[in-house]
Amino acid sequence: MDQDSHCTAETELLEAVSRITTSSTTSPSDEEVNRPKAEISCQVRKENPEKEDTQDSSTTLSPNSSMTTKELQEYWRNEKRQCKQIKLLFEIPSTRIVEHHLSKYVMYKIIILQTGSFDSNKSVIERRYSDFEKLHRNLLEEFSEEMEDVTFPKKTLTGNFTEEIINERKLAFKDYLRLLYSMKYIRRSKKFIDFLTRPELQEAYSCLRGGQYTKALEILLEVIGLQERLTRGNPVSVVPTLCAIVVCHKDLDNPASAFEYGEKALSRLCVHTSHRYYIPLLETMITLAYELGKDFLSLQEKLEEWKTKKDPIRVFTLKELAVREYVQ
């Protein structure tokens, strides 16, 4: 919400309080009786509105005219929280130097925070200079015009591990990520999203294929939040990760948790019944629902309906699909 909207809303609040105070000492007219005493609306102004980047602000809510000043102030605070845009911030608070056999490099700790939230909804990842460099090259191939004025920290022949150089790069990479995220087409691009999520997903699926379900689940639960926030305009893209979480919970004998994440995945596929995960997920959900004593008939009906419309084809199980993800 910009400063002008802020001021307008504050003025409306003061006027609303004034009307309520006046109504206690004067008799209202017929027109005033039929009109809400205070109407506070919250609108978000943007140069380029993006439907998936803002919450629905089309509904105007009106507080009850009998509210006290304190209640109106609390109402206004809640309205601001609801209308606040959800964006991501990037911080690089620390680094560590890694020495592996004959190689030596710096790992940058990146914390990705969600604005407008006071919970612990943050993600922590690590990337090295060569990861940033690869991202930059890949983005230049696809977004040459957008990247025209984006600068990238250059390599130095010496001094790469000095405190001065490392601190300079920490600031440079933080600004670099913020700038990339500010550009709509880049932040939505697969290359940018892969940079922030792919290494962790690859590790998780490797653990899953090796039967290390507890470790795989731990990583997947860490990355799914970030993945969802990065792909808000494309909810279907997180279905494989949600299904991998289902597989892990199921193999760890946590059917209730598996069913919970399965429902999330199914909700994203309700209009994408041709998706490769749809039928394997339905079959798994039927099994879980039966085990948990839940309604499985509606799921069975969906499965039968799909089978009558599609030609019989070989369908992998949910686990077979999951282990095939991120295979090098």
CATH label of the domain that carries residue 297: 1.25.40.10
CA-to-CA distance for 67 and 69, rounded, in angstroms?
Answer: 7
Provide CB contacts within 8 A for 264, sequence distance 6+: 242
pLDDT of amino acid 315: 78
| Cα–chain center distance at 246 | 19
Q: Which of 268, 94, 103, 234 is nearest to 170 (CA)?
A: 94
Give, to the nearest 10 degrees, the angle between helix 239-251 and helix 255-268: 160
Residue 7 inside a domain? The answer is: no
Degrees (nearest 5) of the Cα angle 156, 162, 168? 70
For the chain, strand residue ranges (E) read 88-100, 103-114, 122-128
Residue 53 inside a domain? The answer is: no
Residue 32 inside a domain? The answer is: no
207 and 302: one domain? yes
202 and 122: one domain? no
Examine the fold and report which residue of 123, 153, 188 is the final residue of a domain before the chain moves on: 188
Q: CB–CB of 167/151 below 8 Å?
A: no
> Residue 275 — pLDDT band, cuts 50, 70, 90?
very high
3-state secondary structure of 127: strand
Within 10 angstroms of residue 266's Cβ, the number of other Cβ atoms is 19
80 and 184: one domain? yes
User: What is the residue whose two structure tokens read 């997947």?
Assistant: 220
149 and 99: one domain? yes
Examine the fold and report which residue of 188, 217, 243 is the final residue of a domain before the chain moves on: 188
Quick check: 319 pLDDT over 60?
yes
CA-to-CA distance for 59 and 15, rounded, in angstroms?
Answer: 21
3-state secondary structure of 282: helix
96 and 173: one domain? yes
CA-to-CA distance for 108 and 294, rounded, in angstroms?
Answer: 46
3-state secondary structure of 141: helix
Type of residue numbered 12: E
Q: CB–CB of 288/258 below 8 Å?
A: yes
Q: Which of 242, 107, 232, 241 is nearest to 181 (CA)?
A: 232
107 and 210: one domain? no
> Residue 306 — pLDDT band, cuts 50, 70, 90?
confident
pLDDT tens per residue, range 215-255 = 999 999 999 999 999 998 899 999 999 999 999 999 999 99
293 and 264: one domain? yes
Query: What's the domain count of the chain?
Result: 2
Mean model confidence pLDDT for the chain: 80
316 and 285: one domain? yes
Examine the fold and report which residue of 160, 188, 216 is the final residue of a domain before the chain moves on: 188
CATH label of the domain that carries residue 140: 3.30.1520.10
CA-to-CA distance for 40 and 60, rounded, in angstroms?
Answer: 7
The pTM of this model reads 0.72
Residue 96, domain extent? 75-188
Q: Which of 234, 247, 294, 242 is nearest to 266 (CA)?
A: 242
CA-to-CA distance for 150 and 138, rounded, in angstroms?
Answer: 13
222 and 275: one domain? yes
211 and 315: one domain? yes
Task: Of 118-127, 288-297, 313-322, give the lowest mean pLDDT range.
Answer: 118-127
> Residue 95 — pLDDT band, cuts 50, 70, 90?
very high
CA-to-CA distance for 232 and 229, rounded, in angstroms?
Answer: 6
pLDDT of amino acid 119: 53
